[in-house]
């Protein structure tokens, strides 16, 4: 396939510390897929990159924050496929260049700082303006933040459809994942078996539009799914000592790294739901480790044990 990168095999690991005699919990280790294009990032990017190469674009452009897993992944994928890349960043030139942005720059990404105040407005205008722009040497192939869109959801669906003789996702009764843009969850819903319940844990506070944004990417608009809005820990990238303690304990017990933005909150939610007897007896739960630990770089050294 055009626009490919070399990936490690996908694996599913049991979570022994959370499983009980009545409930089995496992985790799909997308974080082990690639050291840089970690987790769900490649799945959400793959068809955009293939389309850009097919249409002879020489530059990929997208959007993200100062600790964006998406921008780092995009920069690396572009470099690996001999493409240029532009990252429109939710910060200003006066802000400190984060380690994540420095890494993106090291892969050749050109950064454009568009601030926080009008970020969404500027992003939407750029996407709209470039959607039907004729290709020339100066034009870039624009991808929405986090790979949001139909091609992103199509790629995310292949998370469950990946051909791997070492595992199958069809035997699980429940699939649960963190929700940012909703692209991955939409893909999981599209690919899930009829008997599987798909649960999303939004990491943004008061995200009133996320359900509609997910539904707009669904093949079957009536496909059932559940969103649990009580585990955002205060909002996007918001943290607290309880979350840090949980993440460190989870590392000590399972040696699986999590991040403060997505997977830490997701597994905290799973732990809380288990304590509340939310899941039915006999449930086989598959947690999706969506990878991407860039957000942890914002923490003081020593906050986490890994």
Question: What is the CATH classification number for the domain harbouring 115?
Answer: 3.40.50.1100
Q: Which of 9-23, 126-140, 197-211, 279-293 has the highest mean pLDDT?
A: 279-293
Domain end point (choices 112, 147, 182): 147
**58 and 26 both lie in a single domain:** no
**60 and 111 both lie in a single domain:** yes
**131 and 256 both lie in a single domain:** no
Domain end point (choices 110, 132, 147): 147
Residues 125-142 have a mean pLDDT of 83
- The verdict on residue 303 lying in a domain is no
- Phi and psi at residue 40, to the nearest 5°: -80, -5
- The verdict on residue 98 lying in a domain is yes
CB 80 within 8 A of CB 191: no
Which tens digits make up the pLDDT trace of 152-203?
Answer: 999 999 999 765 666 789 999 999 999 999 999 999 999 999 999 999 999 9
* 192 class by beta-carbon count within 10 Å (0-12 exposed, 13-18 middle, 19+ buried): buried
Q: Alpha helices, DSSP H only, in the chain?
A: 41-54, 69-80, 99-106, 119-131, 150-161, 183-191, 210-215, 241-254, 263-275
CB 237 within 8 A of CB 260: yes
pTM for the predicted model, two decimal places: 0.94
CB 138 within 8 A of CB 170: no
Compute, in degrees rounded to 10, the torsion defined by CA atoms 297, 210, 187, 183: -40
**171 and 29 both lie in a single domain:** yes
Q: 123 lies in which domain range?
A: 41-147
* 82 class by beta-carbon count within 10 Å (0-12 exposed, 13-18 middle, 19+ buried): exposed
Which tens digits make up the pLDDT trace of 94-118?
Answer: 999 999 999 999 999 999 999 999 9
Number of independent structural domains in the chain: 2
**222 and 273 both lie in a single domain:** yes
**53 and 185 both lie in a single domain:** no
**121 and 248 both lie in a single domain:** no
Residues 271-295 have a mean pLDDT of 96
Structure-block tokens of residue 289:
């480790």
Domain end point (choices 147, 162, 191): 147
């Amino acid at each position: 396939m055009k626009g490919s990168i070399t990936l490690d095999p996908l694996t599913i690991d049991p979570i022994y510390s959370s499983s009980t005699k009545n409930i089995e919990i496992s985790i799909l280790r997308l974080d082990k897929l690639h050291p840089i294009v970690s987790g769900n990032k490649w799945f959400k990017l793959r068809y955009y990159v293939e389309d850009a190469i097919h249409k002879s674009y020489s530059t990929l452009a997208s959007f993200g924050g100062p600790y964006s897993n998406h921008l780092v992944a995009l920069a690396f994928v572009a470099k690996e496929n001999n493409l240029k890349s532009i990252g429109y960043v939710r910060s200003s030139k006066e802000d400190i260049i984060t380690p994540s942005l420095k890494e993106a720059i090291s892969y050749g990404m050109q950064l454009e700082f568009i601030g926080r105040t009008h970020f969404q407005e500027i992003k939407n205008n750029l996407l709209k303006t470039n959607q039907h722009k004729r290709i020339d040497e100066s034009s870039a192939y624009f991808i929405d933040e986090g790979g949001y869109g139909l091609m992103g959801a199509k790629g995310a669906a292949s998370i469950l459809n990946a051909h791997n003789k070492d595992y199958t996702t069809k035997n699980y009764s429940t699939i649960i994942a963190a929700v940012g843009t909703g692209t991955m969850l939409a893909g999981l819903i599209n690919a899930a078996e009829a008997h599987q319940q798909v649960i999303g844990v939004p990491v943004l506070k008061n995200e009133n539009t996320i359900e509609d944004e997910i539904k707009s990417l669904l093949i079957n608009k009536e496909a059932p799914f559940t969103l649990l809005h009580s585990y955002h820990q205060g909002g996007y990238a918001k943290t607290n000592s309880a979350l840090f303690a949980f993440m460190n304990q989870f590392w000590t017990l399972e040696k699986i790294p999590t991040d403060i933005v997505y997977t830490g909150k997701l597994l905290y939610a799973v732990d809380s739901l288990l304590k509340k007897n939310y899941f039915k007896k006999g449930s086989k739960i598959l947690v999706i480790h969506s990878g991407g630990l860039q957000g942890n770089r914002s923490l003081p050294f020593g906050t986490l044990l890994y």
